[in-house]
Amino acid sequence: MVIELSLLGGWRLAADGRPAALPEAARKVVAYVAVRGPSTRQQLIGALWPESPEAQAGACLRSTLWRIRRCLEDLLVARGEWVSLDPRVRLDLAGLRSDLLRVPDPPRPGPEELDGELLPDWYDDWLLVEQERLRQQCLHALERLAAVLADEGDYGAALQTALDAVRIDPLRESAHRAVIGIHLSEGNRSEALRHYAAYRRLLHDELGLEPSPLLRCLVPPSPADLLTGPGAARTALS
């Protein structure tokens, strides 16, 4: 039996190509060990039944593991105190993590592969940290990949990759810095200035902040000043 578990973009579980259903508690146990790796029963109890008395939580876990085995015997491995995902399960998160480790060394993943949200509709406390960890890893990978592509002279792909990072986090300055740097590398000064001005407005409107000196050193201190005359642009971006 081939079992496929997808956590990126939402929960999907299939056995031999057919959807497989699990109760909510069972999905949470499977998701925890899929994301965190092999876990003790005590870790599962503490994360998934934090407000229940220990004896009751232990009984809930035992019942949940029994239900999982009944639905899909080859989904989990439970030996003694340890519970883990069966290594034969095809997990999309494992593939993404492997890609993140490879960037920017070839073979490189496409930007679309780095744009996976981890169980976006789940709000469990233990998962929030993992969601943010993966989001940051993907953003850093996109920025590194954009830099590599720009160094290779593939400015079109570099720009699209950097814009993917901006789309994931519109307020992330390092992503905008990558976009502006690519525009400048291509000689597109007006595009760089237009993007800077748009980001500066967004940052001010959303957070009441100004871009950092690291970004301002790429472009004139005030885009409005630049638009008053071409001489300022040439001086600032020369």
CATH code at position 81: 1.10.10.10
Of 50, 66, 90, which residue sits at a domain end? 90
Question: What is 5-43 written as a DSSP string?
Answer: EE-BTS-EEEETTEE----HHHHHHHHHHHHH-SEEHHH
Does residue 134 form part of some domain?
no
Task: Judge whether 61 and 149 are in contact, CB under 8 Å.
Answer: no
Does residue 85 form part of some domain?
yes
Of 90, 119, 153, which residue sits at a domain end? 90
Note if the bond before 104 is cis, omega within 30 degrees: yes
Q: What angle do CA 178, 181, 186 make, to 5 degrees?
A: 130
pTM: 0.81
Domain range spanning residue 210? 170-238
Of 67, 90, 113, which residue sits at a domain end? 90
Q: pLDDT by residue (tens digit) across 188-236?
A: 999 999 999 999 999 999 999 999 999 999 885 554 554 444 443 333 3
pLDDT at 98: 83
Does residue 216 form part of some domain?
yes
Does residue 210 form part of some domain?
yes
* Residue 82: both structure tokens together: 């340890």
Could you tell me which residues come within 8 angstroms of residue 75 by beta carbon, excluding any fewer than 6 positions away?
Answer: 3, 5, 30, 68, 69, 85, 86, 89
Q: pLDDT by residue (tens digit) across 115-148?
A: 668 999 999 999 999 999 999 999 999 999 999 9
Task: Give the total number of structural domains in the chain.
Answer: 2
